[in-house]
Every structure is written in structure tokens, then in C-alpha cells.
Amino acid sequence: MNILVTGGAGFIGSHTVVELENAGFRPIILDDFSNSEKSVLDGLKNILGHDVECIEGNCNDTEVLRSVFASHKIDGVIHFAAAKAVGESVENPLKYYDLNVGSLIKLIRTMEEFGVKKMVFSSSCTVYGEPDEIPVTESTPRKPANSPYGNTKTICEDILRDTVLSGRNAQFVALRYFNPIGAHETAEIGELPSGVPSNLVPYITQTAAGLRNELTIFGDDYDTIDGTNIRDFIHVVDLAKAHVLALKFLEEKEEAYYDVFNIGTGKGNSVKELVDTFEEVNGVKLNYKIGPRRPGDTIKIYGDVNKSQDILGWKAEKTLAEALKDAWRWQQKLAERK
């Protein structure tokens, strides 16, 4: 099966390309490299032993999409391509609505035109906002998003649901990711944030590598075990494998279908626990300080993942320690390259 992977050169996309190949699918990347680097393709080649087909183009452009679908027999789509910086989305909401919502609409229309029915969509636990109870299950009510970025994920889920409800024969799933971290164990691919990282783990690895002076932990006065935020940190390779199982699940479906699945570990760790684990497993001392809370941060969230296990047959296998070792190995590999 040929699978179009939009945003396939990105962090989660590139790891998913590897797992698709491992499972016998043929991934075709569509990426405009607006937030990724072409060197990712070399990393993929080193892992897989051959080139992965990659089309350079913007998936928010119907003509680009049409030409991809016209020149390839596409059997299914994994739609990663999106902008994802929470802060930027507050400053430039139209960019986010245009790109994230616009590309999904164009993609669904083009899929319809070419008779392609199956899609796995990248959603986020951001749709739960600050939940009243944890762990969150898929039936935990969604809350109003606290950023335009988060709102695009909620809107995109609704677009997928309503398209299926309209009676169209399509099979869609939205995977609600918790916090992806880590890198491929070969250190050939990993996270490549442009500029100053806003996510925790790349900031940690860059600080440990001496590229940043110190990490600031955003608040230690929350009502949690040690006062820092709680997240469900999931190894990106486990997350990638969930896409393969979701596609296999959709392969069996013939009727119109839409559903959402939590993709996390089912376990919460505090920011401080993550920092301590990083130091311990990698034998490095991290320079950090406690700073003020970051506006808009969810206090604590982690996911119940029984539904993914029962229906998709998926479960996270890697530990936090493995993820943090892989992230650090990747950062060291990046340093060697320079």
C-alpha cells in the first residue's frame, strides 16, 4: 500500500516513515521543509538502506495535492503537516487557521476526487484543555482550546467527524498525541527544532550540550507531587508505531468510520522527574533554575490508553529512561555533524 505522509520530514513524520517501511507499507513524503531539514532524508536512507520518495510541496495547495494523487496510486494518507508553535499561533492566528484547517479541507476534497478513503490525522491532547479528572479518556469532554493552535486541532477533529457523518464513505481516525520525546535508537533521525526550542526535551538536550546556558523550569508551585507540571511523555517511536496499527485497522474497515484515540503511555511524570531522570540515565549534570509559570500551561494531564490497546492493539513499550537516552544520543550526534 502506498501511503502519502504529509509532513513526513518532521519529527513524528520521519519516525513514522521508518515504521511504515518496517511494516511493509510504501511511504511517500509530501513536505515543504518549512519546519524541517532535507538532511532528514539522509537519516532515513541510512536507517532503511534506500531512498524514500519525497515530493517537495505545500499540502495547503490543491494543485500540489492533485498532482501528487494523479501521479501516484495513493491508498491512504497520514496527515502530519501543520504548524505547531503555541506562542506563534497566538500572535498569528490566521496562519494557523489557514494552514492547519485549510490543508485538511483541501486534502479531504482531493482524496474524494481521487477515491482515497483512509486517513490518520495528528491530533493532540491539547483538545482536553485543563481536564477536571485525570487520566483523560477519549470520552472526557473536550474543553475550549487555550490557543489558536489548539483550536485548529479541535476544529480539524470536527471536520473529520462531520465529513464521515455526512454519509460519505470515508474511514478516518484522529490520534490524540500526548508529549512525544526521544529519537530513533540509531540517532539517524530525531527532533530538529528551529531556533530556540520551546519544548522541554530539546531545551534540556541543548542545555546539556552547552548550546543554552540553563533550563528554566516553568513553575514549581503547582498542586502536583513536586510542584511542577505533569505530562504523559511518550517515545516518538512508540507514537510512530501507533500510526501503522491505525492504518492496518482502517484497512479492514469498509463502512464510513471515524474515531479518536489517545496515544500516550498512560502514566504521568512531572517536569522535575523528567529532569532528574535525564541526569541520572545520561550521567550529566543539567544547569537549571526554577522560573515563573508559563502562561497557558496545562497543570497536569496524562491519558488513559485502554481504548488504543483494545481496538488498535497498540501500547507504548519504551520507558522514559530510554526516550531520554535516545534524545541525548541524538543531540550528541548533531554536535558531531557540525
| Residue numbers at the binding site for ligand UFG (CB under 6 A) | 84, 86, 124-126, 149-150, 179, 198-200, 203, 215-218, 229, 231, 271, 294, 297
212: which 3 cell numbers? Answer: 543554552
Minimum separation from the CB atom of position 93 to ligand UFG (A): 14
208: which 3 cell numbers? Answer: 546539556
326: which 3 cell numbers? Answer: 535516545
- Of 249 and 302, which has the nearer Cβ to ligand UFG? 302
Distance separating alpha carbons of residues 234 and 231, to the nearest angstrom: 9
- Of 87 and 313, which has the nearer Cβ to ligand UFG? 87
84: which 3 cell numbers? Answer: 505547531
* Residue at shortest CB range from ligand UFG: 229
Minimum separation from the CB atom of position 225 to ligand UFG (A): 13
- Of 296 and 313, which has the nearer Cβ to ligand UFG? 296
Active-site positions read 149
Contact 19, 243 (CB under 8 A): yes
Contact 102, 60 (CB under 8 A): yes
φ/ψ of 34, rounded to 5, equals: -75, -25
Minimum separation from the CB atom of position 84 to ligand UFG (A): 5
- Of 110 and 154, which has the nearer Cβ to ligand UFG? 154
Minimum separation from the CB atom of position 301 to ligand UFG (A): 8
